[in-house]
Amino acid sequence: MRNKIIRTGSFIPETKITNFDLEKIMDTSDTWIRQRTGIESRYFSEAGATEMGYQSALKAMEGIDVESIDFLIVCTYTSDTFIPSCAHEIRAKLGIQRPIPAFDLNAACSGFVYGIHVADAMMKTGIYKRALVIGVDQNSRYLNFEDRSTSILFGDGAGAVILESSHEVGIVSSSIFSETDTSSSIVSRNTTQTNNPFLKVDSSDPNFKMEGSTVFKFAVKSFKQCVSLVMNQHDVNSDDIDFVVAHQANQRIIDTAAKMLRMPLEKFPTNLDKYGNTSAASIPIVLDELNRSGQLECGMKVILVAFGGGLSYGVSYLEW
């Protein structure tokens, strides 16, 4: 028994921010950003994660009865509220009446692959037959636009998939991992104020922080490890793999990993030039674009690989 992706959907906000727009507010340039990241634009949302995730779910669920969904996972670190969760808010907006499980999962940029892993495991119990998994992040909410090393990288967006039990193609395997971030290389703090007179809570320094060089080394290392793991576990080589859909963090990470794996760049579809790093949304957005453009065909071998804060990383191997 396997579980396969039967529908995809995505949502990109309307407000487009180009590198030239960023030139006007900070010491940077279009050339500097493109050469270091491959990013040319990104999109920011005034609506929160709930609305973006909901819109991506609507597209994924075209022709699907909402009451057929057995559980809902939202992969995000930017939920609009702690309680209720983003998943519960989206469940309500979809109008699902059944008392199905709905919960958020935070693995930062690795979130979607973590979500796929958890959904696949839950469905293998036989209790659940169909799942909705959403990756969404409103990164723009936490950026420091005085820090050009991080604020140029991120955009907002959402992507969703429907998983269904299958006797044919589907998820062959998935693995998730984490390492201790000893240097605090990726940090986004909880800045909630407290009126508790018995506690002193440091709510300073609310902005997202990242040490680029440390994260780059971790990303390339984990990228190569994950793809190599799949090839070794399933006795496949680079010629057998049709696509490696990677987290869209930086073009240099993808270029370097492809070179180390000795695989042609054509097998690494990207959209980060248009959208930047959309965190947990990046992989499902790429999947939706590939799917809707007809580039994904039945039986294709696809690897999903992600890496992010925590430090977290993971990989899923699919036969489409």
Q: Which of 3, 109, 117, 226 does the annotation list as catalytic?
A: 109
Given 19, 139, 250, 277, which residue is catalytic?
277
247 is annotated as an active-site residue? yes
CA distances from 171 to 25, 53, 119, 121, 299 (A): 45, 23, 11, 11, 11
- Determine the residue type at 141: R
Which pairing describes strands 243-246 and 301-308: parallel, antiparallel, or unpaired? parallel
Q: Looking at this protein, which amino acid is placed at residue 270? A: T
Q: Tell me if residue 234 is catalytic.
A: no
- Catalytic site residue from 75, 117, 247, 291: 247
**Within 13 Å of residue 86, how many CA atoms lie on the same side as its CB?**
28
Question: Is 109 noted as a catalytic residue in this protein?
Answer: yes
Strands ordered across the beta sheet of 2-11: 2-11, 156-166, 130-138, 71-75, 102-105
Round to whole Å and give the CA distance between 109 and 246: 11
Residue positions annotated with a catalytic role: 109, 247, 277
